[in-house]
Amino acid sequence: MKVVLVDAGGTNIGSVRYALQRLGTDAELTSDAARIRAASHVILPGVGAAAPGMRMLREAGLVDVLRGLTQPVLGVCLGMQLLCERSEESDTACLGVIPATVKRFAEASGLRVPHMGWNTLQVTVPHCLTAGLREGDTAYFVHSYAVPTGPYTLAASEHGTPFSAVVAAGNFMGMQFHPERSAGVGAQLLRNFLSL
């Protein structure tokens, strides 16, 4: 097994890498297209905004590389959002492998944006990525934009309205929450991904 972390400037790369090391996997950090294509598993981490994230992928020549991957690919936090078709954040065209548009949480009385903290996960579709999740399991989120629920949703959460917490379309998967901060739940999902 050869796991790579796509180096697109995400600020959570170190913590995701450490979470993988705790599971016994040493992931290489790279922006080299050949190394990414040769990996058995590819993880696209990210924290920040959609437009700068996509700009970094374009400048590294990785947009078409990522779109063409056939091995398991996991987007984490912003990385999951970049797998979608578009983001309302700066009206950004993304990778387009998840058929969804990322939307900002609506401002509402008593609803804080960004959404920060622990939220319950509800598994909506059985999938090997979410194996072992139990009713009432929680994960740690920090985000202002979210993927609406749809046929790609494996697990949902809620902040004013339901949103996708875990998604999949073919070999492309994503987690909106931070697995490295989500204790046993995050470790279980990373373990499940590595077992694919």
The residues assigned a catalytic role are 77, 178, 180
Please, what's the largest Cα pairwise distance for the chain? Answer: 49
What is the signed CA dihedral for 135, 194, 59, 143, rounded to 10 degrees?
Answer: 20
Give the dihedral sign, CA 126/18/82/62: negative
Which residues is 116 bridged to in the sheet? 142
Token readout for 193 is: 């991904």
The answer to whether 162 and 146 are in contact (CB under 8 A) is: no
Residue carrying structure tokens 């705790």:
22
